[in-house]
């Protein structure tokens, strides 16, 4: 894709959404013609428990400015327990990223059910603004200055 100069920079956000709740919630937002920023790119996964934390690192490495992981509310997992494992993994990963010097807020996780179209919209709005405020991801992106 074309490189965008700094002035016209728009954050690009990668979102992993579970098929049963958040992806459905995002569809519902569409069905209700809700409007939200176009900065988000959704990867559909069967369950938030499918999201390997290495996908997050890869997203940053490749140049996404923010990464979001979304799934069903704990207790509502289509597969019973997937999101409980998700929660543990990302509680840990979030802290590790911050410790590594990645700005707080670049990585986020949210529980959004299939009925929570408005929450999906609000989350995209909020996360986009937060990442816009952080500016482009320089710290973990593959850049030309790397050999």
Partner 1 sequence: MARTGVIICHCGSNIASVVDVERVALAAGQMPGVTYAATNKYTCSISGQDMIKQAIAEHELDRLVIASCTPRMHETTFRKMLTKTSINPYMLEIANIREQCSWVHTDKEKATEKAIDLVHMAVAKVLKDQPLFTSSIPVHKKCLVVGGGIAGIQAALDVAEAGYEVTLVEREPSIGGKMVMLDKTFPTLDCSACISTPKMAEAGAHPNIRLMTSCEISAVTGYIGNFQVTIRQKPRYVNHDTCTGCGLCEEKCPTKVTNLFDQSLSKRKAIYKLFPQAVPAKPVIDSEHCTMLKSGKCGLCSKLCPLGCINFEDQEDFITETFGAIVLATGYDLIDWAKAYPEYGGGKYANVISGLQFERLVNASGPTEGHIQRPGDGAEPKTVVIVKCVGSRDPAKAKAYCSRACCMYAAKHAHQILEKIEGSKVYVFYIDVRTPGKGYEEFYDKTRADGAVYIRGRVSKIYEEGGKLICKGEDTLIGKQVAVEADMVVLETAMEPAHGSTETAATAGVSADKDGWLTEAHPKLRPVETQTAGVYLCGTAQGPKDIPDTVAQASAAAAKVLGLLAKDELETSPMISVVDAPKCSGCGFCEQVCPVKAISMVDVPSMYNGKRVTRTVAQVNSGLCSGCGACSAACRTGCIDLLGFTNKQILEEVDALWQE
Partner 2 sequence: MSDVQNTLRDRVRSLLAEGKISCFIGWGPTRFKDRTIPKFANKPEDAGELVYNEHCLSNLAKYALDFQFSAEVAGIAVRGCESRAINRLIADGRLTRSKLYLVGIPCEGMLENGSTAEKCAFCRHRNPVVYDELIGEPVAEQENPPRFEQVLELESASSEDRYDFWQREFAKCIRCYACRNACPACNCMECYTEQYRTGWQGKQANTLENSVFGFTRAYHIGDRCIECGECERVCPMGIPLMKLNRKLVKDVESLFGSEESGLSDDASHALGCYDKEDLEEFM
Question: Which window, 48-56, 92-100, 104-112, 132-140, contacts partner 1 (CB under 8 A)?
Answer: 48-56
Q: How far apart are CA 79 and CA 104, in angstroms?
A: 30
Q: Are the C-beta atoms of residues 16 and 106 closer than 8 Å to each other?
A: no
Give me 88's structure tokens.
Answer: 């543990």
Q: How far apart are CA 40 and CA 110, in angstroms?
A: 14
CB of 108 to partner 1, least distance (A): 16
| 85 near partner 1, rule: CB under 8 A | yes
Of 44 and 88, which CB lies nearer to partner 2 in the complex structure?
88
Q: How far apart are CA 98 and CA 79, in angstroms?
A: 30
Q: Which residues of the shown chain bind partner 1 in the complex (CB under 8 A)? A: 1, 12, 14, 19, 23-24, 26-27, 29-31, 33-36, 38, 41-47, 49-53, 55, 58-59, 62-64, 77-82, 85, 89, 121
């Amino acid at each position: 894709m074309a490189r965008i100069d700094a002035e016209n920079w728009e954050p690009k956000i990668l979102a992993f959404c579970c098929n049963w709740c958040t992806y459905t919630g995002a569809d519902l937002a569409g069905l209700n013609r809700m409007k939200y920023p176009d900065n988000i790119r959704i990867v559909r996964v069967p369950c938030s428990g499918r999201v390997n934390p290495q996908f997050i690192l890869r997203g940053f490495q490749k140049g996404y400015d923010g990464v979001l992981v979304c799934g069903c509310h704990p207790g509502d997992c289509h597969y019973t327990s997937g999101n409980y494992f998700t929660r543990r993994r990302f509680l840990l990963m979030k802290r590790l990223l911050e410790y590594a010097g990645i700005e707080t807020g670049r990585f986020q996780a949210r529980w959004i059910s299939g009925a929570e179209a408005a929450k999906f919209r609000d989350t995209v709005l909020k996360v986009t603004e937060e990442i816009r405020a952080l500016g482009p991801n320089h710290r973990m992106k593959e850049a030309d200055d790397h050999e």
